[in-house]
């Protein structure tokens, strides 16, 4: 059957049969744009948008509205724009096959896509029985007996009889460390401030502009090692206007613009990292990025915030601004200046983007 025929028949089934929603039913969006709302009503506030072909995991129903997860939060969508996906794009496989995890800290999700909620994590070398595959995602049986989905590019497959061969694949892939996973992606790194603009001034006279350049350097190296095309808005201590920074992003086919900053406060007690976004299209990535930053930086997680910063507001591409710690807090400042923090942060951001930018 063609994909279109499958979708059409599911579409009719959907209307002819009484619809019963069980936990974690997966549906596909069958509209160009589908608003995600705070409540089950078209008067309710919009918290995001889904596009044609996006998949959602439904766990609740109310008067023709389905409740799902969007960017880590609960939201509602009108059910008439969703079609069931039962086996339409998935393939049941030989249950003898096992999935090997080839990266550290791999996310396990409730459905086959990065828009699904994270339900656990797997470590390098873990092995799980394969249940089924769907697109670039594999469904595995977890130790708890439940199942979860993992991005297939973070795994390798092995059958019971050829484990030696698969182990070779695992070691090759881990020594390459995500090489090629960001191939074809253009990422603009924007080290905040510079030249006559020192940015925040921290304890002991540390300048924000110097720290942003240091972390940008580590992040650029890690992203390039993963195959990304990385551009910096500045690579030395010079003044670059906000207009010029945005112009660089808009001049390229940018997949992500990442502005790097450190924070300051008149109270030395305030500490931690935060991720800022403006456009709705960057919201989901903001949540993912804050997880990656807080997992690897080891500083307090201050969360995700929507802000109209110039470099975000005027950007035509996905754009985030990271506040990577307070240089007016003694603990944050000491941590920020360590190699562990800078390399760990670069690794965390790169792993997150490998998963998100597919
Ligand atoms: Zn700044």
pLDDT digits (tens, 9 = 90+) for 112-156: 877 677 778 887 778 888 888 876 778 888 877 778 888 877 787
3-84 and 186-356: identical CATH topology: no
In whole angstroms, give the CA distance from residue 208 to residue 200: 5
**Of 118, 143, 147, 121, nearest to 132 (Cα)?**
147
Could you give the count of Cα atoms lying within 13 Å of 275 in the half-sphere of its Cβ? Answer: 22
Bridge partners of 342?
none
Check residues 170 and 145 and name the one with the higher pLDDT: 145
Q: How far is the C-alpha of 358 from the C-alpha of 92, rounded, in Å?
A: 23
Q: How far is the CA of 262 from the centre of ligand 1 (A)?
A: 6
Res. 276: pLDDT tops 90: yes
Compute the distance from residue 182 Cα to the ligand 1 centre, in Å: 27
- Spacing, Cα 224 to ligand 1 middle (Å): 24
In this prediction, residue 179 carries a pLDDT of: 52
**Residues facing 107 on adjacent strands:** 121
Residue 177: what pLDDT? 43
Q: pLDDT tens digits, residue range 243-264?
A: 999 999 999 999 999 999 999 9
| Active-site entry in 28, 98, 323, 355 | 323
Rounded to the nearest whole angstrom, what is the distance from the C-alpha of residue 197 to the centroid of ligand 1? 10
| Interval 282-295: pLDDT, tens | 999 999 999 889 88
Q: Which residue has the tokens 């939060």?
A: 73
What is the structure's pLDDT at 60?
72
Cα separations in angstroms, 22 against 8, 59, 89: 22, 7, 20
Determine the CATH number of domain 186-356. 3.40.630.40
Long-range CB contacts for residues 109-112, cutoff 8 Å, separation at least 24: 109/148, 109/149, 109/150, 110/24, 110/57, 110/69, 110/148, 110/149, 111/24, 111/26, 111/55, 111/56, 111/57, 111/149, 112/26, 112/55, 112/136, 112/137, 112/139, 112/149
The reported pLDDT for the residue numbered 71 is: 66
In angstroms, what is the span from residue 259 Cα to ligand 1's centroid?
9
Residue in the block written with tokens 């086919």: 253
Residues 157 and 98 sit within 8 Å (Cβ to Cβ)? yes
pLDDT of residue 215: 96
pLDDT at 159: 60
- Comparison of pLDDT for 73 and 186, the residue scoring more: 186
Residue 161 has pLDDT above 90, yes or no: no
Give distance in angstroms: CA of 72 to centre of ligand 1.
Answer: 27
Does residue 241 sit in helix, strand or coil? coil
C-alpha angle with apex 190: 187 to 191, nearest 5 degrees? 135
- Domain regions of the chain by residue span: 3-84, 92-176, 186-356
Q: So what's the pLDDT on residue 101?
A: 83
Q: CATH top-level class for 3-84?
A: mainly beta
Q: Are 76 and 36 in contact (CB under 8 A)?
A: yes
- CATH number assigned to the domain with residue range 92-176, chosen from the 4 options 2.60.120.380, 2.60.200.20, 3.30.450.20, 2.30.30.40: 2.30.30.40
Provide the pairing of β-strand 90-92 with 137-141: unpaired
Residue 323 annotated as catalytic: yes
pLDDT score for 3: 57
Q: Is the confidence at residue 268, as pLDDT, over 80?
A: yes
Contact 77, 148 (CB under 8 A): no
Q: Calculate ∠ Cα 325-331-337, nearest 5°.
A: 65
How far does residue 235's CA lie from ligand 1's centre (Å)? 16
């Amino acid at each position: 059957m063609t994909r279109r025929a499958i979708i059409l028949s599911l579409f009719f089934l959907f209307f002819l049969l009484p619809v019963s929603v069980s936990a974690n039913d997966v549906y596909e969006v069958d509209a160009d744009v589908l608003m995600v709302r705070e409540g089950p009503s078209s008067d309710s506030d919009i918290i995001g948008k889904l596009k044609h072909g996006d998949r959602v995991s439904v766990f609740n129903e109310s008067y023709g509205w389905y409740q799902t997860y969007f960017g880590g939060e609960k939201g509602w969508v009108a059910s008439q724009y969703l079609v069931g996906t039962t086996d339409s794009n998935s393939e049941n496989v030989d249950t003898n096959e096992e999935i090997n995890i080839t990266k550290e800290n791999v996310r396990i999700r409730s459905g086959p896509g990065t828009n699904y909620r994270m339900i656990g994590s797997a470590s390098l070398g873990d092995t799980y029985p394969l249940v089924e595959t769907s697109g670039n995602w594999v469904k595995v049986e977890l130790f708890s007996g439940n199942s979860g989905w993992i991005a297939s590019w973070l795994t390798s497959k092995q059958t019971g009889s050829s484990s030696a061969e698969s182990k070779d694949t695992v070691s090759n892939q881990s020594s390459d460390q995500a090489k090629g996973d960001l191939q074809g992606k253009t990422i603009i790194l924007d080290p905040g401030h510079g030249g006559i603009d020192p940015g925040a001034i921290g304890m002991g006279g540390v300048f924000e502009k110097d720290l942003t350049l240091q972390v940008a350097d580590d992040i650029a190296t890690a992203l390039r090692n993963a195959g990304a095309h990385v551009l910096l808005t500045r690579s030395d201590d010079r003044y670059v206007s906000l207009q010029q920074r945005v112009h660089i992003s808009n001049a390229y086919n940018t997949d992500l613009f990442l502005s790097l900053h450190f924070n300051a406060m008149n109270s030395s007690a305030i500490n931690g990292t935060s991720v800022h976004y403006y456009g709705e299209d960057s919201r989901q990535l903001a949540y993912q990025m804050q997880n990656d930053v807080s997992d690897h930086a080891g500083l307090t997680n201050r969360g995700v915030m929507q802000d109209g910063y110039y470099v975000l507001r005027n950007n035509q591409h996905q754009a985030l601004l990271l506040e990577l710690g307070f240089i007016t807090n003694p603990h944050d400042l000491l941590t920020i200046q360590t190699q562990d923090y800078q390399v760990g942060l670069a690794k965390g951001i790169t792993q997150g983007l490998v998963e998100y930018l597919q």
